[in-house]
Every structure is written in C-alpha cells, then in structure tokens.
Amino acid sequence: MNRMSAAKIINLKKPGIYGDGDGLRLRITKTGKKSWIFRYRLFGKTKDMGLGSFPQISLANARKKRDQQKELVLQDLDPIFEKNKIKIDLIKKEAMTFKVAASSYIETFKDQWTNKKHSQQWVNTLKRYVYPHIGNYPVSKIKNIDVLKILKPIWSTKNETATRVRQRIEKVLNWSITLGYRDHPNPAALNGNLEYLLPKSSSIRSVQHHRSLPYENLPEFVSELKKTNLYSAKALLFLILTASRTSEVIAAEWDEFNFKLKIWNIPENRIKIRNKHSVTLNESALELLKELKNISDSKYVFPGTKADTHISNNSMLKLLKNNFPEIYKQSVTHGFRSSFRDWAEEQHNFSRRAVELCLSHQNKDKTEEAYLRSKLLQKRHLIMNEWDNYLKGKTN
C-alpha cells in the first residue's frame, strides 16, 4: 500500500476512503471534508474510531494517534471505550443525564456515520421527542414507564418515527450501561420488555391507510421523477413540492395562481376542510408551473386527454405503479404528505401550527382557531423553501 504524503492529501478531491497503512484511513465526503479514521479489529469485531479532521490534525499527528490506539488494541483494550472512559470519569454517576449521555454517544460515533445528516437526525428526534421527558433524568434512574410515556403517544400514528426514537434511546442507554452509568436491564429494549407494553409494529402498519416513502429516499426519487415527461409525472412532482392533496393538484386551474406573491389560492370547494387555502410556492414549484404555462392551451395546469378536462384521480398512482414499481410498494400518492410531515418534525424545529397550515389541516380546537387568524405565510414560505432545498439534495 502506498503511504500518503501531506501534498497528496491536499490534492485529493474525490470522495472516498484512502488508506495510509496499519489501520489509518482518510475519509473525504462529498462536501470535501477530510477526516482521519483508525480501523481496528478487537474480539472479532471491526470498528472505526475518529481521530479528527484534516488539516487540523496533520498526517504526522494522525499517525502518532494511530500508533497510540494500536498499543491499546495490542493490550486487548478498546480505544473507543478508553477514550470515553477518560472523558466521563470526571462526571459523577448521578450527574450523567440522558441528554449528556446522548451528546457523548453522538460525538463518539458521528465520524463513522457515512450519512452526513445522520447525526443531525439523531439530535432532532431526541430534542423533539425525548429531551422534554427524560433529558435531565440521570440515566441510572430511567425506567421502562418513562420510555413508554415517550413512545405511546406516537407509536400508532407515527410508528416509523417512534421505532427510530426507541432504537436511539436503547443505544444511548446501552452506552451508559457499558460505561457503568447504569445497571441492566435496558428499559428501552423491545425484546422481553416493551414488546409486552406496545402493539407490534407490523400490526400497526397493516391498518395504516397510506403507505409512505421515508423522506430520506425522496431526493433520489424526485430526481428520477423529473426525467419523466408525462403530465402525471409533472403533477406528482408538483404534489410533492407543495405537500398537497391529489384532488387539489389534478384540478388546479391557472387563474388560482399568483406568481408575483408566489401563492396558490385553492377555492374552498376543492379543499377537504371546506375553507379556501393558500399554498406557498417554492422555487421548484414556480419553475415547473412556468414550464407548463408556456405549453398550455387549457384552463387546467394538468390537462387530460379530452378537451376541457384534467388528468384523472388515479393517474399519479398509475404512474407510480407502472413507472416506479419499487416506490409504489412503499408509498401511495397521499403518503408523500406524511413524508413531508416526518421531514418537518425530524429535521427541523418548525412551528407545529405552521407545518399544519402547510398541509392545510384544520385546527380541531375551534376556540383556539378563532383566536389564531394569522396564516403564517412568511413562516410557511421558509418551510417550503427548506423542503425544496432538501428535495434538491442541498444541505445547510
């Protein structure tokens, strides 16, 4: 294996992993970030340990760090374990809260997560669902009833999210057990524990009305969808970009759009809640509309095959079934609204009311609705622009 040099590292641009020998590797991400990894094998398991970023950690220093960790491996000691032990020996067992433990866990493993947004997803889901309940609890005091209080409200309605939350709590608490901050058993474990307190995920999913594509898979699907030159494909793309309902999209008329204000005003007779609704339009939605406007000779944005008609209610679903069978197995047309909601909840701290308005959901509390007359257009524009950037594969 050719050893690296400082000059070679500086000139390396292509994303990938490059070896220097004896377990030292350089990882280059798509954004050009370079970081050092030490790969070692202990007790039959291969692990990666982050050694820091380049150029903050030079090649020479990375090799020194690698050699130090190799010495531990030769003594049958786990470098990651020893690194964590040094850090947290300063913290008393009672002071090790779940939030501190989770932050340490994320910091330890973020370098080996290949998806650069993975650590942010961890932070967002824990901040939204877990920290308000047990963030300040000592890990040694957390019980399965505490975990149940977190999961039960979302287990049936957002089972995929709830499953991720449970798995992340379990990993943080396993980390705490391994380092001696709490004793067995793990209160977030499913087998032999929560499986007796929560319904099986399979039974929940079987009664869900709408299959929903995980939002992580949407940018790739949207990229493929843009290559399909059919009105049904354009309609489905517009539906995803605006998080709208099928009935709202297929019957959209040109006079409903205000291009200057970037607003789509849907009349109340085509809205499920029977109140007129304004959809905020992001850059990609506007570009798509302008493209279609240039070739349109119909009052409908998505015209049908017969004069003065729009595409059918099933056209987008047919497109999925015929052109994207793998996506069809995972999601129906309406399911993309759930994908949007999951993204908004897990990836950002948007106002819940603003997200509900993006989805044109009616406030069930009539008294509260009477007081909250603002439609939060500015906030909704920001949300839909972020959604557009996400679908394009852009990250902050």
Write out the DSSP string of 71-106.
Answer: HHHHTT--HHHHHHHHHHTTS-GGG-BHHHHHHHHH
Which amino acid is present at 276? K
- 30-89 pLDDT, tens digit each: 989 999 999 999 888 899 999 999 989 999 999 999 999 999 898 988 888 888 776 665
Mean pLDDT of 97-111: 89
Same structural domain for residues 342 and 225? yes
Q: How confident is the model at residue 389 (pLDDT cuts 50, 70, 90)?
A: very high
Same structural domain for residues 143 and 197? yes
- 55-71 pLDDT, tens digit each: 899 999 999 999 999 99
Range of the domain at 22: 6-76
CATH number reported for the structural domain that contains residue 277 in this entry: 1.10.443.10
At 145, list the tokens. 């009833």
Q: How confident is the model at residue 107 (pLDDT cuts 50, 70, 90)?
A: confident
pLDDT recorded at residue 156: 85
The answer to pTM > 0.85 is no
Report yes or no on 1 lying in a domain.
Answer: no
What's the structural domain count of the chain?
3
Q: Please, are residues 111 and 35 in contact by the beta-carbon 8 Å criterion?
A: yes
Same structural domain for residues 101 and 60? no
**Distance from C-alpha of 119 to C-alpha of 360, rounded to nearest angstrom:** 31
Report yes or no on 87 lying in a domain.
Answer: no
CATH number reported for the structural domain that contains residue 52 in this entry: 3.30.160.390
Same structural domain for residues 161 and 245? no
pLDDT at 332 over 80: yes
Same structural domain for residues 243 and 263? yes
**Distance from C-alpha of 300 to C-alpha of 311, rounded to nearest angstrom:** 9
Same structural domain for residues 203 and 220? no
Mean pLDDT of 113-140: 84
Report yes or no on 83 lying in a domain.
Answer: no
Mean pLDDT of 362-372: 41
